[in-house]
Amino acid sequence: MARPTPELIDALRRTAANLKNGAHYQWGHMGGCNCGNLAQELTKLSKDQIHRYAMQRHGDWNEQAEDYCSTSQMPIDVIINEMLSAGLTLEDLKHLEKLDDRQVLLHFPLEKRHLKHNVRDDVVAYMRTWADLLEDQLLQKITLPTFDELVLS
């Protein structure tokens, strides 16, 4: 599961909002699919740039994640590296394309867990839920001193 970072949580929420508000969505387009839309937010590249870079190597996001090499300097690997730096894992990319991360799906009501990976509204719901889950994890890591600790110091 992704490392909860403010940057990633914000990017997931902005991506979900963009999709909700009509941003280009095409599951078969490397720059306009689930991962492609998130990559746009994290890298500030256009959908066409992301697609063009991805097409320099074979495969969808799942295969791109499998073939990822942190030192290759291929443009798609540079994009993936930026996404990983924001807190994602290679497994997260695979799960995002299929909307099938079990930890995320467990936060949906039982009757709503069967998301379709290429349906815009399902992608929006998945990203929003994932962002909320990551935010909860981030907040659990924060500890503030109590009043007594401050007074005694």
Over its C-alpha atoms, the chain yields an Rg (Å, rounded) of: 17
pLDDT of residue 136: 94
Split at pLDDT 50, 70, 90, the class of 145 is confident
Q: For all residues of the chain together, what is the average pLDDT?
A: 93
- Tell me the C-alpha distance between 51 and 133, whole Å: 29
Residue 57, φ and ψ in degrees, nearest 5? -135, 160
> Average pLDDT for residues 24-47, to the nearest whole number?
96
Residue 58 CA neighbour count, 13 Å, CB half = 0
- Tell me the C-alpha distance between 77 and 135, whole Å: 27
pLDDT in tens, 45-104: 999 999 999 999 988 999 999 999 999 889 999 999 999 999 999 999 999 999 999 999
pLDDT of residue 55: 92
Residue 33, φ and ψ in degrees, nearest 5? -90, -165
Q: What DSSP string runs through 54-94?
A: HTTS-S-HHHHHHH--TTS--HHHHHHHHHHHTT--HHHHH
The answer for residues whose C-beta is within 8 angstroms of residue 3's C-beta and 6 or more apart is 87, 88, 89
Q: Given a cut of 80, is residue 150 above it in pLDDT?
A: no
pLDDT of residue 83: 97
pLDDT of residue 153: 64
Q: Given a cut of 90, is residue 1 above it in pLDDT?
A: no
pLDDT of residue 66: 92
Domain ranges of the chain: 6-152
pLDDT in tens, 82-91: 999 999 999 9
Q: What is the pTM of this model?
A: 0.90
